[in-house]
Amino acid sequence: MTPQEFLKSSAYRTLQSEHLLRTLGLLLEEGMEFALAAELRYVEFDPPLPSELFEAFPDVTLFALAGYTLESARILEDEASSPRLVFEAGFGAENLGSVVSMPLLAIRQIFLGDLPLLVNMAKPEEQKAPPDPERSMEALLSRPENLKLIKKKNK
């Protein structure tokens, strides 16, 4: 197994997810201010930020959790998806409010003051796009035996 394969393995992802969950849980429980660097492509903003503000963020963006942002932070665990860190924050000169949500594995690093507390090399699993109905029908109709079944059904 190559190092890249190891970092993408289910076992390593699970280990890192649990480590992030427990570390963030402890930080939130203790009310410790911290910062995290997260891969922006996995981060959601509700409401969405204006494009000129969003596009100014680097691919890996630093979020500081202190004050109200820290107080609003919580971890959502849902059987249907991986755990997510959610918090409210203000952005830009106008301090535009948005609820920030990210899968735990989107977090690359956690900092306590100037100290790197945790480094994560695993990434969230890529979400598979829902199948395109037109392409699905195309695939279905491309097999002669399926065409026969459809013709029988329509009779």
Report whether pLDDT(20) > 90. Answer: yes
Q: How far is CA 64 from CA 87, 123, 129, in A?
A: 11, 21, 32
Share of the chain above pLDDT 90, in %: 69
Confidence of residue 148 (pLDDT cuts 50, 70, 90): low
Strand order in the sheet with 60-65: 60-65, 34-39, 107-112, 115-119
Q: How far apart are CA 135 and CA 117, in angstroms?
A: 46
**In order of start, what are the domains of the chain with their CATH numbers?**
3-128 (2.30.30.220)
pLDDT tens digits for range 24-51: 999 999 999 999 999 999 999 999 999 9
Q: Within a 10 A sphere around the Cβ of 36, how many other Cβ atoms?
A: 24
| Mean pLDDT score across all residues of the chain | 86
Query: Is residue 65 scored above 50 in pLDDT?
Result: yes
Residue 12's contacts (CB-CB under 8 Å, 6 or more residues apart) are: 6, 122
pTM for the model: 0.77
Mean pLDDT of 93-110: 95
Return the H-helix or E-strand segment holding 95.
none
Tell me which of 155 and 114 has the higher pLDDT.
114
Contact partners, residue 20, CB within 8 Å, separation at least 6: 83, 104, 105, 107, 110, 118, 120
Asked if 32 and 94 count as a contact pair (C-beta separation under 8 A), the reply is no
Q: For position 129, what pLDDT does the model report?
A: 47
Please state, in angstroms and rounded to a whole number, the distance separating the CA atoms of residues 16 and 30. 21
Determine the average pLDDT of the residues in 133-144.
53
Cβ count within 10 A of residue 5: 9
The stretches of 31-125 forming alpha helices (DSSP H) are 51-54, 67-72
